[in-house]
Each structure stands twice: as structure tokens, then as C-alpha cells.
Amino acid sequence: MSVEGCGRCGKVFLILINILFFLLGITLMVAGIVLKLNQSNDVLPALSILQENATTLEQIMSNISLLAIAIGVLVACVSGFGLFGALCEVRCILITYAVFVIILLAMEIAAVALGFMMRNKINETVKEEMLTLLEENYVDDSLNSSNPISNKWNLLFLNFNCCAVNPVTGVNNDFDETAWCTTEGECHDVNAQIPKTCCVGVNASNFEDKAQPSCFVYLTSGFKTTGCFDRIKELIQAYSVVVIGISLAIMIIEIVAIVFAIILFRQIHLQNKII
């Protein structure tokens, strides 16, 4: 026997909510897949310079995409479970669904709180790691040096419109402590303050000839001032905004879904008592 009154309204809302819940879960999963697929394009190959450490930025980006996919699949499955319970008016499925959603909501809140508390520490760790890798491995402003990490730094400068780790504001910058300027490099031979790959308007095919002395020698014009840490941070935030927005919408829907699942459960229970 079908429920009436508030129970019917609860059933309708629960069905609609879980359909939307299911679609949002699929959207989150697709967003994770898109981020994962972009690893083969121009995002993560340049970031692989950080592969020296277990907690690399490349791995962080990969883990974010996998987490988004996993959460999307979980949300879609739970919403399907709730949809079945609402359509068939099965009490045990409804109460199990409510418990699943409460657990999922608690996990999401805990993850958000943990990420919020650790964001500064993560930023500091990644920045220190990047600076160490630059100082220890940058040996030449070319793409074919003997050090592959040095080559990847130059690719990063070219592809991400950034230079060094911290912003470049003058002749004293992150390159002062690199091997390029202290031991085996040619920094002093050409009076360079920054690599040619840090000049504006150049690319991988013409930076050696097109870079102007006003950029890499005198730093008066035509050089990239944004540090690569800030640029990569902007890149991650651009992806994170989409993921966070979808996650917040899902959390709100979860709360409403719990309320309606309990309402429908009580209406079915009361109706069975009457019968």
C-alpha cells in the first residue's frame, strides 16, 4: 500500500533528490576522469620534476583525481540504493540508506576539515621540495642537458609562463644557489641572471635565439615574474574549485536525503501499524 500525505511528499522528494544525487556523483566521477586524463597532456609531465619525494605534486594531483572518481562512484551507488528503497517503500533499505549517507557525510566533513587544517603545511612542504630540487638539479637553460630534472624545469618555465619557485623580482633570485650559477653551469659566462626559458614570448623551438638580454641579463623587461609554485598552486585551485563546489552540493543534498528517508521510514512504519 502506498504512503499518503507527508509520506508521499517525502517519497517524491527522496526520489528526486537521489536522481540529482546520482547525477552529481556521475559528474564528480567524470571530473576526476578528466583530471586523470589530463595527466597525459601538458599538466603533469612538467610537474614530474618533483618525483624525488614520495609526496610529490604529481602524485597529489593523481590522488585527487582518483579520490574524485572513487567518491563519485560511491555517491552514485548509495543514491541508487536510496532510489530503490523509496520507489519500493522498503523500510530496511531506507534506514540502511540513511545510515550510509550519515557515514558518508561524516567522512566528507572530516576530509574537508583535515584538508583545511593541513593546507598551509602542504603548501610549505611542496614549496620547500620544489626549491630544493631547483637548487640541486638545475644545471643549464636548455632542454637537452645531462640532467633530466633540469630539462623539465625549463619545460615548466616555458609551458606554465613562470620562472623559478618564488617570484622573480630582481637579480637576487632562486637561481643564485643552483648548480647553473655556482659550479657546472654557464650563468656567469653569459652574465645571465635567469634562464632564457624565463623570457616572455619564447617557446621550446626559439628561446635560445629569441630571448633578449633585457630579459635574462639585465632583467629590465620581458621576463616572467610569477614563481612556478604560485602558478602550480593556481592550477590546482582551478581544478579544486570544481571538485569542492560539486562536493558541497552533494553534502547539502545528503542532509536533505537523510531527513526525507527518515520521514518516509516513519510513514511506512505508521501505515503498517494501522494495517
| Residue 273, pLDDT score | 61
Mean pLDDT, range 98-109, rounded to an integer = 85
Rounded Cα–Cα distance for residues 176 and 162 (Å): 17
Question: Per-residue pLDDT tens for 187-216?
Answer: 766 788 999 999 999 998 999 899 999 999
179 within 8 A of 136, measured Cβ to Cβ: yes
Does this model's pTM top 0.75? My answer is no
User: Which residue in 118, 37, 22 sits closest to 76, CA to CA?
Assistant: 22
Half-sphere exposure of 237 (CA within 13 A, CB side): 8
The share of the chain scoring above pLDDT 70, in percent, equals 82
Question: Per-residue pLDDT tens for 110-148?
Answer: 877 877 777 777 788 888 888 988 998 898 888 988 888
The sign of the dihedral angle between the CA atoms of 18, 24, 30, 35 is negative
| Residue 6, pLDDT score | 62
C-alpha cell of residue 22: 546520482
| Residue 224, pLDDT score | 95
| Residue 134, pLDDT score | 92
Question: Per-residue pLDDT tens for 139-181?
Answer: 888 898 888 889 989 999 998 899 999 999 988 899 998 988 8
Half-sphere exposure of 147 (CA within 13 A, CB side): 20
| Residue 255, pLDDT score | 86
Largest CA distance in the chain: 94
Q: Return all residues near 215 (Cβ < 8 A) that are at least 6 apart.
A: 194, 196, 198, 199, 200, 221, 222, 223
| Residue 194, pLDDT score | 93
Q: Is 256 exposed, middle or buried (0-12, 13-18, 19+ CB in 10 A)?
A: middle
DSSP character at residue 208:
H
Query: Which pLDDT band, with edges at 50, 70 and 90, does 2 fall under?
Result: low
Half-sphere exposure of 218 (CA within 13 A, CB side): 6
DSSP character at residue 223:
B
Mean pLDDT, range 87-110, rounded to an integer = 84
Angle subtended by helix axes 148-159 and 91-137, to nearest 10: 110
Rounded Cα–Cα distance for residues 125 and 41 (Å): 25
CA 152 vs. chain centroid, Å, equals 21
Angle subtended by helix axes 91-137 and 228-274, to nearest 10: 170
Rounded Cα–Cα distance for residues 57 and 244 (Å): 19
